[in-house]
Amino acid sequence: MGGTIMADDDGSTVRFEVALVAAQVPAHEPAAEATDVDAELLQRLRAIAPKRILLVEDASNNRFFVTAFLRGLPHEVVEAVDGEEAIEMYEADGPFDLILMDMQMPTLDGYTATEVIRGLEQAGFAGRTPIVALTGDTTPADRARAFEVGCDEHLPKPVLRTTLLDTVARHLTAGEVSGSSSDEPRSKPAAGPPPAEKLARAQAEAADELAALKPTFLRDGRARLLELMTASSASDFEAVARIGREVSAQGDERGFRALCAIGADIEAAALRGDGAGVREAVGRLALGLRSLQRFDY
């Protein structure tokens, strides 16, 4: 696909030359949506009584993002690191009002854990708990499998903050409307909904914490950029697609949705075997990283 790469001996600075198609990347775009949770959604979240959520995820950084997304809400979030621990917590500390389940985990995956939990429910352990699959498995077959084992919804990673909050609101609200079929109360006694100002402040603080991840993201982004240039110069479209997918996942998980979209464009162009498209998208990634570096949170 063409281009040259140059790096200092210590690797601190990377330069490349590549023919680019002109692209416009607004200086503030990468972080502009990181705090964007609309008032209507916050109002819906405030109206929900305190609930209990089981978060099942083996990656600590993903657990951090989800709990940051839920900051300021009165719900108790219990964390499990794999499917085996999720079942143990469900039996010992359940039932829960909602389960957020990663599908690919060591020891015991989310598909099996979901099947076991549904079996416990059918045996009379508790009423049916909504289970939302949070997964990088995005093919139609993966989606179908998630529903076959008993998931109520399938959210492909990376998950946007507003998407997750909307999903949580819908399922917890549905539970309040339908009521629990379990004899046990699902929710522990707690205070009422948080004041609007408190919730908005907590969400803003969470957004600030996510923004603090910028230095690490920039470092990783520059490394990905070098890898992309190397792979594209060798016309290794498979590697370009993989790296583009990684850029997309890292960008969206950390709130930089504009860069997430660029990563998706890189992957799509590579899958098409479109060298010109890859070069154009890689150029936008370079500009986006430079813009993000200059942005003052």
End-to-end CA distance of the chain: 36
* Residue 52 covered by a domain: yes
Q: What is the CATH number of the domain that holds 262?
A: 1.20.120.160
pLDDT higher than threshold 50 for residue 26: no
214 shares a domain with 290? yes
Please state, as a whole number, how many other Cβ atoms lie within 10 Å of the Cβ of residue 127: 16
Q: What is the pLDDT of residues 196-217, one digit of tens each?
A: 676 667 766 766 666 666 677 7
pLDDT higher than threshold 60 for residue 6: no
Q: Report which of 294, 206, 231, 224 is spatially closest to residue 262, judged by C-alpha positions.
A: 224
Among 140, 157, 192, which residue terminates a domain?
A: 192
pLDDT on residue 54? 97
276 shares a domain with 162? no
pLDDT on residue 189? 42
Among 161, 192, 223, which residue terminates a domain?
A: 192
143 shares a domain with 77? yes
212 shares a domain with 172? no
* Residue 122 covered by a domain: yes
149 shares a domain with 102? yes
pLDDT higher than threshold 60 for residue 283: yes
* Residue 197 covered by a domain: no
69 shares a domain with 187? yes
Q: Which residue has the tokens 């890189």?
A: 266
11 confidence band (pLDDT: 50, 70, 90): very low
Q: What is the mean pLDDT of residues 36-42?
A: 75
pLDDT on residue 55? 97
Among 192, 220, 238, which residue terminates a domain?
A: 192
Range with the poorest average pLDDT among 28-32, 138-142, 200-204: 28-32
Q: What is the pLDDT of residues 78-134, one digit of tens each?
A: 999 999 999 999 999 988 999 999 998 889 999 999 999 999 999 998 899 999 999
Quote the CA–CA distance of 247 and 226 in Å, as a whole number: 12
174 shares a domain with 71? yes
- Checking 113-121 for CB contacts under 8 A at 24+ apart, the result is 113/56, 113/83, 113/84, 113/86, 113/87, 114/146, 114/149, 114/150, 114/151, 115/149, 115/150, 116/83, 116/87, 117/86, 117/87, 117/90, 117/150, 118/149, 118/150, 120/87, 120/90, 120/91
pLDDT higher than threshold 60 for residue 31: no
* Residue 132 or 287, more confident: 132
Quote the CA–CA distance of 261 and 20 in Å, as a whole number: 18
pLDDT higher than threshold 60 for residue 295: no
The mean of the pLDDT values for the chain is 79
Q: Where are the alpha helices (DSSP H) in the chain?
A: 29-32, 39-46, 60-69, 83-93, 110-122, 140-148, 161-178, 196-211, 214-233, 237-253, 257-272, 275-294
Q: What is the pLDDT of residues 168-196, one digit of tens each?
A: 999 999 866 555 444 444 555 455 556 66
Domain that holds residue 222: 206-297
Distances (CA, A) of 257 to 162, 217, 277: 12, 12, 20
Q: What is the CATH number of the domain that holds 167?
A: 3.40.50.2300
* Residue 239 covered by a domain: yes
Which two three-digit tokens encode residue 113?
A: 């854990």
53 shares a domain with 188? yes
pLDDT on residue 252? 58
73 shares a domain with 165? yes
* Residue 154 covered by a domain: yes
pLDDT on residue 183? 43
Residues 220 and 261 sit within 8 Å (Cβ to Cβ):
no
* Residue 258 covered by a domain: yes
pLDDT higher than threshold 60 for residue 1: no
Q: What is the pLDDT of residues 210-245, one digit of tens each?
A: 666 667 778 888 888 999 999 999 999 999 999 998
250 shares a domain with 151? no
Cα angle value 119/124/129 (rounded, 5°) = 65
Q: Report which of 73, 69, 91, 222 is spatially closest to residue 157, judged by C-alpha positions.
A: 69
166 shares a domain with 92? yes
Q: How many domains does the chain have?
A: 2
pLDDT higher than threshold 50 for residue 34: no
* Residue 106 covered by a domain: yes
Strand partners, 55: 79, 100
Q: Report which of 238, 263, 231, 237 is spatially closest to residue 249, judged by C-alpha positions.
A: 263
129 shares a domain with 231? no
* Residue 187 covered by a domain: yes
